[in-house]
Structure formats: C-alpha cells, structure tokens
Amino acid sequence: MSDMSWVHSNADFQKILSEPKIRMCNSASMEELFMQYGQKFYKAGHLTAEYMSKCGDISKLDTYFFALVYLYRHGLELILKAIAFQFILEREARADFLENTFHNLAKIFTVVKTFINPQNLFSEEVIIWVEQYLAGISCIDKESDSFRYPFNISITYNKRGGKEYRAKPVFEKQTYIDLIALANKMEITYLFLECVYNKVPYNSKEYTNYTTEFLQEGGSYYDQCVVGYDYAIGKFFPFIKAYSEIPRMLVAKMLSGQESCDILFLPVCYLYRNAVELALKGILYEESLHSRQESLRLIYRYKHKIWGLWQSIRKQIIEEAGAPKADETVQYVDKYISQLHNYDPSSSVFRYPVDKHLAYHFKNTRVLDIENVDNFFSELISFLEAVDMMLSAHNEWRAEMEAEQRSNMDFDY
C-alpha cells in the first residue's frame, strides 16, 4: 500500500509498475477452473481464520467474521460446481444447472450427490453430515448475500400498487459464534468435497467431533465472533472494515513471499471490490440526503453496478464538500470508479471463471500488478471513508440545528 492512500489523476488499474505481476488466463476446462477458483477462496479463508485465531484482537473477530465466512462459503460453492461439471458436460445442461441452483449450496449438493458413488471412497455417514451442514448454511445464506451485505432488501406493494422497500438485517440479535468450530466445519466440508472431486477416499473421522449446526455458539473468549450488536444491526461499517482490511493482510503475505500470489490475488481483488461497493451503498443509505425508501430503491436497482451507485451520491458530495472550482478530486474518483466498473461491471469477474452465460472471464491473458492494484483500491476506499465521515458530520450538524430550531419554536409558543 502507498504511504499516502489518496485518489490522484494518474490512477490506472491496469498499470504495470513492478514485480510481482499476475498473469490471468482461463484456458483450462470449466471444471478445472471452478476447482482452481475454489482452492483460491478456500486458501484465503484458511489464512484469514488462522490470522483471526492468533491476532488477540476481539474487535477484529467481530468484524472479520463476515468476510471470513464468505471466503469459505464461496470456496464450497465453487468446488461443488466443479464436481457437477465433471458430470454435466453439455453447455445447455450446464447453463440450466447454474440457473436452477444459483448460489444455493443445498440445491447444488442435491445434484452433486447423485454423482457420488460411495463404494469404498466415502461412508454414507459423512455424506449425510455434509448434506445437513450445507442445508444449514442455505437456511441462512441461500443467495450468497448474508455475509456480504448488512441486510437483504425485499419489496412489498401498498394499497395503491406502489412499491415499498424493506431492509431486513441478517443478524438481529447478539450471537456468540465459535470461530474454531466454524472454521473446522468449513474445512472438513471442503476437504471432503476435494476428495470427491479427485475421486480419492475420505478417511477422516473428524466430522464426528462436530454437530452439523452452521453457526455454533460458544468457544473461548478470544475465539468468539460476536455479531448482532444493537449499535451495528443493519450497519455497513463492520462489513466495510472486514472487506477492506482482510485483503491488506493477504497482500502483505503475498508481497513478503509468505504465500502464493497466484492463489490469493483473485480473492483479494474480490474482497476489495466488494469493499468499494459496500462503501458506496453505506454512503447512499446512511449519509445521503435521499429518503430511506429512495436509497433502498437505488441500491436495489443498481445492485453491483458501482458506477450507478456513485452517480447517485456524486452531486451531494460536490455540494457538501464546498471545494474550490479548481479542485478536481471528484473527477479523479470518476476515473477510479469507471475503470473498476468497466473491468468488473457485475461483481463476477474476480469470483467466477465464467459469467452466467458461461462465457469465460480472462479468455485472453490479462496482466495486473499486485502492488498497483492494492494502491488503487486503498486510495479509492480512503476517499470513500473520508466522504462518509464528512457527510456524517454534516448530517449531525443539521440534526442539531433542526433540534435547536424546534426547541426555540416550542419556547416562543
């Protein structure tokens, strides 16, 4: 990360400045690529769990939890799809499979289970354990959103037929989750699926030490992730912190040579990209002058399209910053957002080897500079964090002024 993480005029997401460089080219078979992507996200999850268990900072456990679960969970989704594509070979059938199962791990495993022939490779008991565990994940996170965003948006219709948007937080009560049990269950499941993919025996009995409950409560004080605090319910800041700080930790491991750049680079890019999306949505929902209904409508409309999210708050930022006309900071940010949007408009390029139409991402080789990409994201996120603080201060001032005016009106009466 650069010493001064702030937006500037020369930002270029694809600029090559130094080693190490990453060459990305999805040239293997589809099942191999899904397996490779699964290994990458699983490894990122494993390193994050390892870091959390050793850091001794309980505040990090409570926030990093969200990105940790997503990394592991996405690794499971990818390897499940890799197994399915070993048997589902026709393009149309593969497209139907993706459309019918989407991100739902339980549904995907229902399909995969039909291809698993236990013989002497797997016991019926471990298959049942994995099936029940994945079903538990799907009960909480069937659409792969519960650990990426602070709430889900639903739509109802009023008596006049108008749409009304409602934000429903995923965690609505304080819950003490056992980090060690969470990580171990995820790893048991992944390693079992890895054996299924490679058609080799799974002989471990470790799963018998754990229930199939997904978010098991308990654990020691320094191994607990506490979520659902009253002050954080439905808030974006814990998610932004998780998705912006974990990739910095992983980048440090890559640049120091401790871990493989080829393995961690795509998860890092996805985590950072989601942090940008979260920061934009957080500003729009919590600090913009739009009504809550309008903010939810815009978030629902744009979903992962960061250019649209940026445009919905850009004018207010310019007005409230009160910068001199010669200041071009917002124009610099336009370049950051447009580059990132053009590179990954749907938030799938860094997550999957193909899009929903089975067209390959990185069909042609693309080269990126790890340190430059790290700086690019860090600079943009620093700007968005500063904007959030500025708008929050302005909104607090407005609220105080309104309260004072009401008080004076009451007194005059």
For residue 404, the model assigns a pLDDT of: 79
CA separation, residue 345 to residues 101, 220, 309, 339, 370 (Å): 23, 42, 12, 10, 20
Tokens 């999850």 — which residue? 45
Query: Which regions of 32-185 does DSSP assign to beta strands (E)?
Result: 151-157, 163-169, 175-178
Cis upstream peptide for 20 (omega within 30°): yes
For residue 2, the model assigns a pLDDT of: 47
CA separation, residue 274 to residues 79, 96, 346, 407 (Å): 21, 27, 11, 43
- For the chain, the average pLDDT equals 94
Q: Where are the domains of the chain?
A: 1-25+239-413, 30-150+172-235
Q: What are phi and psi of 241, to 5 degrees?
A: -60, -45
> What mean pLDDT comes out for the span 22-42?
96
* 3-state DSSP assignment of residue 198: helix
Q: Is the pLDDT of residue 337 over 60?
A: yes
- 227 touches 215 (CB < 8 A): no
Q: What percent of the chain has pLDDT over 90?
A: 86
Q: How far apart are CA 21 and CA 252, in angstroms?
A: 15
Confidence band for 4, pLDDT divided at 50, 70 and 90:
low
> What mean pLDDT comes out for the span 203-228?
96
- Cα end-to-end distance, the chain, whole Å: 58
Q: Is the pLDDT of residue 358 over 60?
A: yes
For residue 1, the model assigns a pLDDT of: 47
Q: How far apart are CA 199 and CA 193, in angstroms?
A: 9
* 3-state DSSP assignment of residue 109: helix
Confidence band for 410, pLDDT divided at 50, 70 and 90:
low
Q: Is the pLDDT of residue 325 over 90?
A: no
Name which of 38-47, 67-76, 152-161, 275-284 the model is least confident about. Answer: 152-161
